[in-house]
């Protein structure tokens, strides 16, 4: 059922994109900017429809209904997965404000805990150590300037960047 849902969502997405395709401006060219994406989307929609039909046919009758249970949200593996995605998203959103150093330390610590680390000293030391090592390689070694953050965090980042 999950596979059916995913394919159906993709089909819906491409139907919407197909409708947007008609808004693409063309200026009387033989094969303008609109036609190639229209052909691709048309093929995708047809093939996804065929896929959905095949999946539906292969599903046993008792599984042919939607319920929240298909997402298996009470499974620990699924919970870890969703939390990892949420943590990654939180890191990306917060990065311009926390700056690279604090943001990455927190991200690493959180991700390590999600994956299975439980000893606090190990989490703290490894997150600081890895962040420092990656910082050294990218900022001092490759002259990359990661997000500095705001306020005092920005000042600390600038101080670290020009330490060497």
Answer yes or no: are the C-beta atoms of 124 and 130 closer than 8 Å: no
- At its nearest, how many Å lie between other proteins and the CB of residue 121? 13
Please state, in angstroms and rounded to a whole number, the distance separating the CA atoms of residues 159 and 162. 5
Answer yes or no: are the C-beta atoms of 131 and 160 closer than 8 Å: no
User: By rule CB under 8 A, what string of x and - marks binding of each residue 99-128 to other proteins?
Assistant: -x---x--xx--xxxxxxx--------xx-
CA torsion sign, 126 to 127 to 128 to 133? positive
**Is 150 one of the binding residues for other proteins (CB under 8 A)?**
no
Contacts of 123 (CB under 8 A, 6+ apart): 109, 112, 113, 117
Q: Which is nearer to other proteins, 62 or 143 (CB)?
A: 143
Instruction: Summarize as ranges the residues that interact with other proteins (CB under 8 A).
Output: 2-3, 6-7, 14, 17, 20-21, 24-27, 29-33, 36-37, 40-41, 43-44, 47-48, 50-51, 77-78, 80-81, 84-85, 88-89, 91-92, 95-96, 100, 104, 107-108, 111-117, 126-127, 130-131, 134, 137-138, 142-147
């Amino acid at each position: 059922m999950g596979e059916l849902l995913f394919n159906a969502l993709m089909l819906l997405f491409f139907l919407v994109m197909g409708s947007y395709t008609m808004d693409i401006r063309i200026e009387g060219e033989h094969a303008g900017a609109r036609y190639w994406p229209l052909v691709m989307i048309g093929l995708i929609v047809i093939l996804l429809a065929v896929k959905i039909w095949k999946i539906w046919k292969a599903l046993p009758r008792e599984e042919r209904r939607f319920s929240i249970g298909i997402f298996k949200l009470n499974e620990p593996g699924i919970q870890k997965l969703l939390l990892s995605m949420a943590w990654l998203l939180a890191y990306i959103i917060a990065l311009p404000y926390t700056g690279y150093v604090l943001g990455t330390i927190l991200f690493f610590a959180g991700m390590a805990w999600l994956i299975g680390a439980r000893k606090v000293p190990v989490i703290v030391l490894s997150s600081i150590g890895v962040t420092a090592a990656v910082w050294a390689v990218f900022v001092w070694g490759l002259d990359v300037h990661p997000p500095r953050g705001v306020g005092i965090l920005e000042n600390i980042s600038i101080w670290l960047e020009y330490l060497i």
